[in-house]
Amino acid sequence: MDQNVDTPHTGPATSPRKRLSRRASIIGSVVALLILAGTGWLAWRLANPAPDSAAAGTNGRRSAPATTVGVATAERANIPIFLDSLGTVTPLATVRVSLQVSGVMEKVLFKEGQMVRAGDLLATIDPRMFEMALLQATGQRQRDEAQLDSARVTLQRFKTLLAQDSIARQDVDTQAALVKQLEATVVMDKAAEGTAKLNLAYTKVVAPVSGRIGLRTVDVGNVVSPSTTNGIAVITQLSPIDVVFAVPQDQAGTLQQNASGSAAMKAIALDRTRSTTLDTGVFASLDNQVDTTTGTVKAKARFTNNQQLLFPSQFVNVRLQVKTIENAVVVPVTALRHGSNGDYVYVVNTADRTVSLRTVQRGQATVEKVIISSGLNEGERVITEGADRLKDGASVVLPGDPPGGIRRQRPAGKGAGAPAAAASAPASTGPASAPVAAASATDKPAPASTTSTPAPPVDGPTAEQRRRMLDQVKDDPVALERRQRFFEQLDRGDPAAQARWRDMMEKRRQGGSAP
């Protein structure tokens, strides 16, 4: 009874499952055939490109569009080599004006921050006490001098009497000793009188050096003395002024050799942003030992500081011109590139407007220029902009070239009329259009080749055309000068320049652009 129950349900359940399996296999087969057909068609299209693209690829040596680049010419120049460092402005002299005598401050004759010269009167102290001391010293000197004169007269008399044997020799010797004592007393009186004069002079406080005076520390009426700690003011000499900076110990020998030469090394003081030149001076001296903690040597440069832009204790950037490399081949820094094989540049082949990768050896460099020690000659043109899109042999468009680049001339005898016929024939999308175009170009010339286009007027470009053409080469000074000279020749009516202008207009019309 179990078999009768299972048998009716087994047949109907297995039949739909078999039909679904056949349908799925048919659909899968169709999809696989479509994928194979699509892959085969794509492979055929890649192996057999369209006639117009094939013609574009065989019309020249390149199929990719030319890259517009910036160029510069390698030239010879004298390149200065600089050494940059951070320095501190240090004045030649900083003098604290102190007092030599004690007294009451009578006058203050300077203003804070004033520029003073050596010898200028700054302040005065009450001089009356010192005048009285001078008078006393003078009177004492005069008294002692009178006594000395009297003793000398008496001595002369004693000598006369001694010659007549009328006086004892002991009296003559005593009088001679008295004369010498009075002479010594007069010398001391003169010294006391000089001291009094000096103290009287010290009541007038004068500037010992030229410079800028600082803030004053005393006022009129104060009792001052030589023991006053801060004096009355501080004078800082500002012109000339020094800048102390540190240089690497490896450069110490070079600086010492250059400093011993006849030509002084030029030093430039720049502000914190290195954008403004504060002053220009010369290298002054080098320290006698290396700082072991930093591995540097202290050096000093001297500046005239006529404009007072350098301030004591100011931090500045020092640029020292160590030497000058003369007659070196230089290019802009942007022209030099770095690769796995070293430094290289792209050199422009002027004839066919292609570039060649040239390995070079670089030398010293400045902010804008770099020296090429070997691998490049003077006058060669190198790529400065757009080099990241180039490779060896790539075609380029220079700023001075007409729009679309310079077109190459096709070799003679290879269907010179074919481009004109292809341009006049209607566009074709099938493979059979290529033989027809070739036959029409060979057997029957195209109407465009037999009917010449009228030449443009010979009066030259319009003002708008001139402006646009000059803007195209504004970043290339050589091309800009050449184009301006070409416009001048057109204005003079030069036949060669007019013929060149007509040829340019003809090429632009053939390229489909309006002149």
Residue type, 257: Q
The 10s digit of each residue's pLDDT in 31-76 is 888 888 888 777 777 766 554 444 444 444 444 567 788 888 999 9
**pLDDT higher than 90, residue 301:** yes
Residue with tokens 């820094």: 333
Taking the CA of residue 505 as centre, how many other CA atoms within 13 Å lie in the half-sphere pointing to its CB?
18
Taking CA atoms, 51 is separated from 55, 89, 424, 441, 442, in Å, by: 6, 76, 16, 16, 18
Contacts of 110 (CB under 8 A, 6+ apart): 116, 120, 122, 123, 213, 216, 233
Q: CA-CA-CA-CA torsion for 378, 381, 384, 389, nearest 10 degrees? A: -140
pTM above 0.75, yes or no: no
Q: Given its phi and psi angles, is residue 484 left (phi above 0), alpha (psi -120 to 50 degrees) or beta?
A: alpha
Q: What is the pLDDT of residue 429?
A: 37
The 10s digit of each residue's pLDDT in 324-372 is 888 899 999 999 998 888 899 999 988 888 888 989 998 888 888 899 9
* CB 178 within 8 Å of CB 151: yes
Q: Work out the pLDDT band at 410, boundaries 50, 70, 90.
A: very low
* CB 280 within 8 Å of CB 266: yes
Does 448 or 41 have the greater pLDDT score? 41
**pLDDT higher than 90, residue 299:** yes
Q: Work out the pLDDT band at 495, boundaries 50, 70, 90.
A: confident
Tell me the mean pLDDT in the region 109-116.
92
Least confident of 61-70, 182-191, 299-308: 61-70
CA distance 404 to 66: 8
Q: Which of 371, 346, 368 is nearest to 359 (CA)?
A: 346
Q: What is the pLDDT of residue 49?
A: 56
Phi first, then psi, for residue 245 (nearest 5°) are: -140, 165
Residue with tokens 């009792």: 223
Q: Which of 129, 124, 130, 127 is nearest to 220 (CA)?
A: 124
Of the chain, the percentage scoring pLDDT greater than 70 comes to: 79
Q: What is the pLDDT of residue 282?
A: 93
Q: Work out the pLDDT band at 432, boundaries 50, 70, 90.
A: very low
The 10s digit of each residue's pLDDT in 262-298 is 778 899 999 998 889 999 999 999 998 999 999 999 9
CA distance 257 to 265: 11
**pLDDT higher than 50, residue 256:** yes
CA terminus-to-terminus distance, the chain: 103
Contacts of 105 (CB under 8 A, 6+ apart): 123, 124, 125, 218, 219, 220, 221, 222, 223, 224, 232
Does 470 or 62 have the greater pLDDT score? 470
